[in-house]
Amino acid sequence: MPRLVIVSPCYNEEAILAYSARELTSLLERLIAAGKILPTSHVLYVNDGSRDRTWELIEELHRENHFIDGLCLAGNVGHQSAIMAGMMTARDFADAVVTIDADLQDDLGALEEMIDRYLEGYDIVYGVKVSRTADPLLKRTSALAFYRLQSAMGIRAIYNHADFRLMSRRALDALACYPERNLYLRGIIPQLGYASTTVDDVISERVAGESKYTLRKMLLLAVDGITSFTTRPISWIIGMGLLC
């Protein structure tokens, strides 16, 4: 049985934390009772420089619930870096790490299936969105357009996958060797080369609060994702310059 750590980045999530902790605790208890994970498994909330009471609530939850731990970053470093910080902290004492956003829009049933795939021998299990009807139209349309653009540029990535995934310790050790600072984990992780598979992820409505991924943040992430893995945009610019 593996020791599982669920890494959950948080930015101004005070409205959802109590619900999130309750649901993840219930999931861990169910998996422990089924003999799929060790009783020392837990949740690691990563406070990404929140401006509300997020960190205070994480501290309260930690005192009341032995399944809850917290990591407080010095400032707001961004979603990708917060996930990376959580995974690199957890890899020292976890056999497997699952990353999931604190709003729990991702399918917790898929998380349980990820554990099953890990027990079958897979080092990386991706949650792939099979339904995005719960997402706003703009987010859904822009995300699908970006995935197609990545594919057209030859970037190796998992279609319709965000950051809901399981990674084994050895996969995390390999990820730790990458020196990138402008992180785009959705492009780096498929390059690791370990045995991987996917599970279906049905997105649900947010229970409370609102998404912190603004259009600006999505565009910046898209730019990082494209410029970090392909030189085609530079080639296109040179070609258009010569043509002009």
Region 70-83 average pLDDT? 93
The whole-model pTM stands at 0.82
In tens, the pLDDT along 53-73 reads 999 999 999 999 999 999 999
| pLDDT above 70 (res 4) | yes
Region 140-166 average pLDDT? 73
Smallest CA-to-CA distance from 198 within 173, 166, 225 is with 166
The domain of 152 spans 4-243
Please give the residue that has the higher pLDDT: either 10 or 133.
Answer: 10
Domain of 9, CATH number, reads 3.90.550.10
How many domains would you assign to the chain?
1
DSSP letters for 61-86:
HHHH-TTEEEEE-SS---HHHHHHHH
| pLDDT above 80 (res 237) | yes
Q: How far is CA 155 from CA 61, 79, 130, 184, 229, in A?
A: 40, 21, 21, 12, 6
In tens, the pLDDT along 160-198 reads 788 899 999 999 999 999 887 778 888 889 889 899 999
